Chain A
Amino acid sequence: MPATIREGSDTLNVEDVTVRLAGRTILDDVTLHVRPGELTGLIGSNGAGKTTLLRVILGLTPTSSGRVLINGRPRSRRSGLIGYVPQQITLDPDMPLRARDLVGLGLDGQRLGLPLPSSKRRRQVDEILEAVDATRFADARVGLLSGGEQQRILIAHALISRPKLLLLDEPLANLDLRSEQEVVEVLGRVAHSQGIGVLISTHDMNPLLPVMDRVAYIAAGRLASGSTADVVSSEALSKLYGRHVDVIHIHGRVIVVAGPEGIPLHHLGPEPVARVV
């Protein structure tokens, strides 16, 4: 697939985006490309700027400079082409909403008036529930689902309107191991077999390694993106952080550790950011 992708057919283009709020630079000249059918991990610690970047892409936060293109066109308010799974939604156990109802709202949740039942709508909901393996608990109340089940429902909600880009903000936080694996598997399937561009923000890239195609590593508002091998290396990350960083690969897992003080940063050139695309 990579051989036939050209520049203009990127799902998402973030170009030289800078965001300054209250005198602080939260995003510094960030560039990022997400291609259809690829799963990109947006990796960074809390406060690095991940959520801000996602909000910029969604149009919830304005940029100080730079632009965002969805499918080659500047993003407009009701893109409808972006599916979004926000961070930490607490679904109230009192909310009278079944899993399938929440998913259905993904089609028409913004419309006024009462919904009319239609068999077409029901079929679409059933299909997408099947795709995320949620048919089993489709009639359960959303507030009573487990963390992993809720995430899958939210993913279904985001996917049912057939977006080209799927954004997830820390979808694996607070999930037990098994739920984590379930969600990762679903996301991998969504990207690779449905040709959707998936961007997942997380502070720990390890659970995503089995399905991740590209990495966008963000630290203190600066971003380096490329293949895992290129970006997740001591050299590239040291350049990004501006200080010595060690990347340790062990048993197929990656650990990023701040290096001890005093080790010289001899590969820090005039460019502060590694852009290895």
Chain B
Amino acid sequence: MPLLSSVFEPGFFSNGPTQSALTIGGVVAVVSGVVGVFTVARGQSFAGHSLSDIGTAGGSAAFLVGMAPLYGFIVMNVMAAGVMELIGIRRPRGRDLATGIVLGAALGLAALFLYLDTTTSSTTGATVTVLFGSIFTLDPTTVPVVAVLGIVALGCVLALFRPLILSSISPDLATVRGVSVRLVGVGYLIALALAVSLSSITVGAILSTALLIGPAATALHLTNRTGPAILMAAVIGAVETWLGILLAYDSYYWFAGSHGLPVSFFIVLIVFVVYLTVQTTVRLSQRTRGYAGRSSAT
């Protein structure tokens, strides 16, 4: 069918790198979406953004020593998330300042490592890979690693589902109910660090927030219930990612095969547009219905 072949340029599904990209992209989007629902619900969007920026230092350091950036991201993100949790990252002004300073130091370090990357190693494109992702050039052996890490992250969140909600509402209340707030905090941290690291390798460290909060925030406009929210966030994230990969693949053909447009750009664009559309539509429909959306929107 001519329509189908113009949407899916030749070789899309049989292309090796594309298959890896679709698989990894899917897993990453699902994990980010699920963890992201809790991040947004806890009001930690800015902290999530800072976390991935701080991870830049880790990814570029890993690149320097010849390790896959993924592992650098994980180490750096786990450490940074741990520190943030210790000093408490829920909204107050002074924390924004301290977080910003750490962010600056980490980005400075990233500048250093990336510079050393380009001067010492023969591989080019460290900057672009670390900052904006490289989903098409990921080593296929990364796929099982991503899958396992994704399962670990999802497992943490799903196992701690109810205690996490309780401790997000009120740590005191949770403690009285017998929840170990500390344990829950650690579990969530690990899931967050993993989610941010995984999305850093697909869309890049400084863009990874889009996958973390975009689909989640979109889902939160569509439902009031936790279960459906995380399901929707996962599905929306996956579809947006796949669409982005498809468009990036197709873009090669728009320029007669000389070069394509960055995947991360497409994914972020789709996440942004979908969010704005849903948000505006929901707001408009609430206004015409005449109340401030107190009952379930679905």
Contact = CB atoms under 8 A, between A and B. Distances in A.
Nearest to B161: A114
Contacts of A108: 162
Contact of B178 (A77, A98, A137): A77
A115 B40 CA distance: 22
A110 interface: yes
A139 interface: yes
Given A102-B169, A108-B162, A110-B163, A96 B226 contact: yes
B169 A110 contact: no
A112 B296 contact: no
Interface string A128-144: 00000000010111001
Contacts of B172: 60, 84, 86
Given A110-B177, A110-B179, A96 B224 contact: yes
A94 B223 contact: no
Contacts of B162: 105, 108-112, 115
Interface in A58-116: 58-60, 77-78, 80, 82, 84, 86, 89, 91-92, 94-98, 101-102, 105, 108-115
Interface residues on B, range: 35 or more
Contact of A95 (B168, B176, B217): B168
A268 to B, nearest CB: 38
A97 B161 CA distance: 12
A86 B295 contact: no
B248 interface: no
Given A108-B162, A113-B159, A96 B175 contact: no
B296 A139 contact: yes
Interface in B276-295: 292-295
Given A89-B169, A109-B162, A115-B161, A98 B177 contact: no
A169 to B, nearest CB: 9
A187 to B, nearest CB: 18
B41 A92 contact: yes
B166 A96 contact: no
A236 to B, nearest CB: 32
25 contacts: A58-B176, A59-B176, A60-B172, A60-B176, A86-B170, A86-B172, A89-B173, A91-B169, A92-B41, A92-B168, A94-B41, A95-B41, A95-B165, A95-B169, A96-B220, A97-B224, A105-B166, A110-B179, A115-B162, A137-B295, A139-B295, A140-B224, A141-B293, A141-B296, A144-B292
Interface of A: 58-60, 77-78, 80, 82, 84, 86, 89, 91-92, 94-98, 101-102, 105, 108-115, 137, 139-141, 144-145
Interface of B: 37, 40-43, 158-163, 165-166, 168-170, 172-179, 217, 219-220, 223-229, 292-296
- Interchain residue pairs A-B with the least CB separation, the first 5: A96-B229, A140-B294, A78-B178, A95-B41, A141-B224
